[in-house]
């Protein structure tokens, strides 16, 4: 067994161990070594927020196999025959001599590890805002096991009253939930106009409303200008508009940047667009004997062809397997790219997206049609929960470009369906007749994503003229004299209404009460109901009676992202 191929893997978090284990399975004669800077291996880093939030108690679960064995160097050697060197830093790569220079972080000693094939899986590092005070005590990230330990201790001690989360991305909102559940008063600060940029604005606002209802503060469009402190300790966060937020803790979750130093120093190509190590479909770098995978690489977005940095744990695992196959054997496995699918839990809601948002699709030059659709995720009698979905498709071809959802309902399932539809290059028409699994405990008879596609199909066929809630609000605020028609029942109206000057005529009475509408048939009328299905029926009815400018407010009341009455 000593004559096998030498495979060296730099990085021991997700992609690295996956590549190593796969290489070993493909070639039992290979000599596989992992070089890992941190003390731990194969950490379930996506689980950190849930450990911090108290969803489970045993820290070791983040480091264990499903049967409870810690994935330490002994485990790697005994069960996989892989040498794992922890607390060891890869200092440089000598491509001519094919060696990695390593430093033992405890002893400081250096040595060289020779390779036939090298895998770089150096991950990514948190971005710190370029403002004063980042070295104050009380500022952390949630990127390492050490960070998770610190925040969990803070949670358990329950001494801290106020914290600021800098960044409203995926890790930011997950951290917000974790700390808010510990009774800490949280403010999320985001420099962009919304949180979770993988969502379009209107869905992000609905999510923000939910976070606020759960007690968190959310401030958007307002970057941090300084961390404030006394005697080296954090006392507050100052924003660009002058606001000061007193706090004893700040968690910075302002994105990550690929760790490309080692690769760049070795002369490997690093992308200018997304800043990651450049790889081909086989995950090979510009040196054919060196592969790279995980958060340190850039990969093609399959919808745009453009290289992106997609630091997701699942992709790291998929790439690691491809690299392991290719590094170990004569087979050539490929990783084609990403559609940037993601999901996260935010208190009682989930939020997810796959493919392109309307904003990103337009930026990429697509001519798009979109729709917002709100609907419960099951029949009412089975305890349904709402999902608000937005679908983006290419005009003309009808090709699906993206799906995003938020709500208390089963969001992850619909994003998974959307992701597979994108992988299959399906059109909106295809989705309207998709054969999905139906039973009342699991979905409505016509699943949310099919109903959403049907609505978008109606829009593309000119049967439905939608108007986004945001546009309605903007025009009302601008003082425009709009005729806004709520066609829900009187009881529903009593419970909750928009309060923007709308007129109530229930759909069932509309045929008989057409005289209450503007008699000028050219006057614009905007219809809605709870989710705008009855709004759509009302619009078709009005058109049949000669009104020529009837629109439906998409998603109805349930997708209205502004304050409501009652």
Which residues from 366-385 bind a second copy, rule CB under 8 A? 376, 379-382, 384
151 SS3 class: helix
- Residue 348 in contact with a second copy, rule: CB under 8 A: no
Phi and psi angles of residue 85, each rounded to the nearest 5 degrees, phi first: -105, 105
One of 373, 390, 534, 551 touching a second copy (CB under 8 A): 534
For residue 559, which of 207, 214, 221, 219 has the smallest C-alpha distance? 207
Residues facing residue 342 across a β-bridge: 353
**Is 489 a residue that touches a second copy (CB under 8 A)?**
yes
List the one residue from 179, 417, 456, 559 that touches a second copy (CB under 8 A): 417
Find the shortest distance in angstroms from Cβ 549 to a second copy: 16
CA distances from 274 to 95, 120, 300, 306 (A): 24, 17, 10, 9
User: Residue holding tokens 């491809």?
Assistant: 322
- Decide if residue 1 touches a second copy (CB under 8 A): yes
Q: Does 127 bind a second copy (CB under 8 A)?
A: no
Instruction: Assign 3-state DSSP to the chain and report helix, strand, coil percentages, each to 5.
Output: 30, 25, 45
**How far apart are CB 449 and a second copy at their closest, in Å?**
9
State yes or no: residue 540 binds a second copy (CB under 8 A). Answer: yes
For a second copy, the closer CB: 164 or 216: 216
- Measured from the Cβ of residue 501, the count of other Cβ atoms closer than 10 Å reads 10
427, 397 in Cβ contact below 8 A? yes
288 binds a second copy (CB under 8 A): no
Question: Does 511 engage in binding with a second copy (CB under 8 A)?
Answer: yes
Closest separation between CB of residue 67 and a second copy, Å?
A: 6
CB of 232 to a second copy, least distance (A): 35
The helix/strand/coil state of 368 is strand
Nearer to a second copy, 230 or 331 (CB): 331
* Binders in 13-32 for a second copy, by CB under 8 A: 14, 24-26, 28-29
CA 73 – CA 63 distance, rounded (Å): 12
By the rule CB under 8 A, 400 interacts with a second copy: no
Q: Which is nearer to a second copy, 90 or 538 (CB)?
A: 538
- The CB-of-79 to a second copy minimum distance in angstroms stands at 5
Report the SS3 class of residue 509: helix
Taking the C-alpha atoms of residue 339 and residue 347, their distance in angstroms, rounded to an integer, is: 26
Q: Does residue 58 bind a second copy (CB under 8 A)?
A: yes
What DSSP string runs through 314-335? Answer: HHHHHHHHHHHHHHHSS-----
- State the minimum distance, in angstroms, from the CB of residue 481 to a second copy: 27
63-71, 125-133, 203-211, 515-523 -> range binding a second copy (CB under 8 A): 63-71
Closer residue to a second copy (CB): 29 or 395: 29
Burial class (CB in 10 A: 0-12, 13-18, 19+), 241: exposed
Least spacing, CB of residue 131 vs a second copy, in Å: 30
- Looking only at residues 293 through 322 of this chain, which bind a second copy when binding is defined by CB under 8 A? 302, 312-315, 317-318, 321-322
Q: Residue for token digits 């005070």?
A: 133
What is the distance between the alpha carbons of residues 154 and 134, in angstroms, rounded to a whole number?
19
Nearest residue (CB) to a second copy, 194 versus 338: 338
Residue with tokens 């801290």: 160
CA 223 to chain centre: 21
Of 157-165, 210-218, 243-251, 327-335, the segment contacting a second copy by CB under 8 A is 327-335
Q: How far apart are CA 342 and CA 349, in angstroms?
A: 14
Rounded least distance, CB 57 to a second copy, Å? 9
Based on the shown chain and the rule CB under 8 A, indicate whether residue 356 belongs to the binding site for a second copy. Answer: no
Question: What ranges in 478-557 are assigned the alpha helix state H?
Answer: 490-495, 507-510, 533-544
176 is catalytic: no
> What minimum distance in Å lies between the beta carbon of 296 and a second copy?
17
CB of 480 to a second copy, least distance (A): 28
Q: Which stretch binds a second copy (CB under 8 A): 85-93, 181-189, 201-209, 409-417?
A: 409-417
Is there binding between residue 214 and a second copy (CB under 8 A)?
no
149 forms part of the interface with a second copy (CB under 8 A): no
Residues 6 or more apart in contact with residue 83 via CB below 8 angstroms = 31, 32, 33, 34, 73, 76, 77
Q: Does 118 bind a second copy (CB under 8 A)?
A: no
Nearest to 177 by CA among 203, 142, 144: 142
> Which residues in the 424-483 window bind a second copy by CB under 8 A?
424-426, 430, 432-443, 445-447, 450, 454, 461, 463
Q: Which is nearer to a second copy, 234 or 405 (CB)?
A: 405
508 contacts a second copy (rule: CB under 8 A): yes
Give the one residue of 2, 3, 66, 242 binding a second copy; rule: CB under 8 A: 66
The answer to whether 368 and 393 are in contact (CB under 8 A) is: yes
Q: Give the long-range contacts of residues 375-379, CB within 8 A, separation 24 or more.
A: 375/444, 375/448, 375/451, 375/452, 375/531, 376/409, 376/444, 377/407, 377/409, 377/410, 377/414, 377/443, 377/444, 377/448, 378/409, 378/440, 378/441, 378/442, 378/443, 378/444, 379/440, 379/444, 379/445
Count residues binding a second copy (CB under 8 A): 104
Q: Which is nearer to a second copy, 231 or 435 (CB)?
A: 435
Contact partners, residue 412, CB within 8 Å, separation at least 6: 343, 350, 352
* Residue tagged active-site, from 46, 296, 405, 529: 46
Question: Counting contacts by CB under 8 A, is residue 507 touching a second copy?
Answer: yes
Q: Is there binding between residue 412 and a second copy (CB under 8 A)?
A: yes
Q: Could you list the active site residues? A: 46
């Amino acid at each position: 067994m000593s004559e096998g191929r030498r495979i060296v893997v730099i990085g021991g978090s997700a992609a690295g161990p996956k590549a190593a284990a796969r290489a070993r399975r493909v070639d039992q004669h290979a000599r596989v070594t992992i070089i890992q800077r941190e003390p731990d291996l194969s950490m379930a880093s996506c689980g950190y927020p849930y450990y911090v939030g108290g969803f489970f108690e045993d820290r070791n679960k983040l480091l264990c196999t499903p049967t409870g064995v810690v994935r330490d160097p002994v485990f790697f050697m005994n069960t996989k025959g892989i040498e794992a060197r922890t607390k060891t830093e890869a200092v440089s790569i000598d491509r001519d001599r094919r060696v990695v220079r390593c430093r033992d972080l405890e002893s400081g000693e250096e040595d060289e590890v020779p390779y036939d094939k090298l895998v770089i899986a150096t991950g990514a590092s948190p971005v710190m805002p370029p403002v004063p005070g980042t070295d104050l005590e009380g500022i952390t990230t949630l990127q390492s096991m050490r960070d998770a330990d610190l925040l969990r201790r803070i949670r358990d001690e329950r001494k801290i009253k106020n914290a600021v989360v800098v960044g409203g991305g995926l890790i930011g909102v997950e951290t917000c939930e974790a700390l808010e559940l510990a009774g800490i008063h949280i403010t999320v600060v985001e420099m962009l106009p919304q949180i979770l940029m993988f969502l379009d604005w209107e869905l992000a606002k609905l999510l923000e409303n939910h976070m606020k209802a759960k007690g968190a503060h959310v401030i958007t469009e307002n970057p941090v200008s300084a961390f404030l402190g006394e005697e080296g300790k954090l006392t507050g966060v100052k924003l660009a508009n002058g606001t000061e937020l007193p706090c004893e803790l700040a968690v910075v979750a302002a994105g990550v940047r690929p760790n490309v130093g080692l690769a760049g120093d070795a002369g490997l190509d690093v992308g200018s667009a997304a800043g990651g190590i450049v790889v081909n479909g086989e995950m090979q770098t510009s040196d054919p004997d060196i592969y790279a995978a995980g958060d340190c690489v850039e990969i093609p977005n399959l919808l745009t062809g453009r290289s992106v940095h997609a630091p997701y744990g699942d992709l790291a695992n998929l790439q690691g397997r491809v690299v392991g196959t290719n590094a170990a054997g004569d087979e050539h496995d490929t990783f084609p790219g990403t559609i940037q699918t993601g999901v996260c839990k935010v208190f009682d809601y989930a939020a997810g997206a796959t493919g392109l948002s309307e904003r990103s699709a337009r930026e990429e030059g697509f001519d798009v049609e979109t729709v917002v659709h709100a609907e419960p995720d099951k029949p009412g009698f089975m305890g349904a929960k709402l999902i608000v979905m937005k679908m983006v498709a290419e005009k003309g071809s009808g090709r699906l470009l993206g799906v995003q959802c938020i709500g208390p309902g089963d969001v992850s399932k619909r994003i998974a369906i959307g992701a597979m539809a994108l992988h299959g290059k399906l059109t909106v028409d295809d989705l309207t007749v998709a054969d999905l699994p139906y039973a009342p405990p699991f979905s409505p008879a016509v699943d949310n994503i099919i109903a959403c596609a049907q609505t978008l199909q109606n829009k593309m066929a000119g049967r439905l003229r939608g108007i986004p809630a945001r546009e309605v609000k903007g025009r009302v605020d601008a003082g425009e004299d709009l005729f806004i028609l709520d066609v829900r029942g009187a009881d529903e109206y009593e419970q909750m209404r928009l309060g923007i000057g709308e007129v109530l005529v229930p759909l069932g009475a509309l045929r008989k009460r057409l005289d209450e509408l503007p008699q000028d048939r050219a006057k614009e009328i905007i219809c809605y109901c709870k989710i705008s299905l009855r709004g759509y029926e009302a619009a078709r009815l009005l058109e049949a009676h000669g009104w020529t400018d009837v629109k439906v407010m998409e998603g109805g009341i349930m997708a209205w992202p502004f304050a409501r009455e009652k």
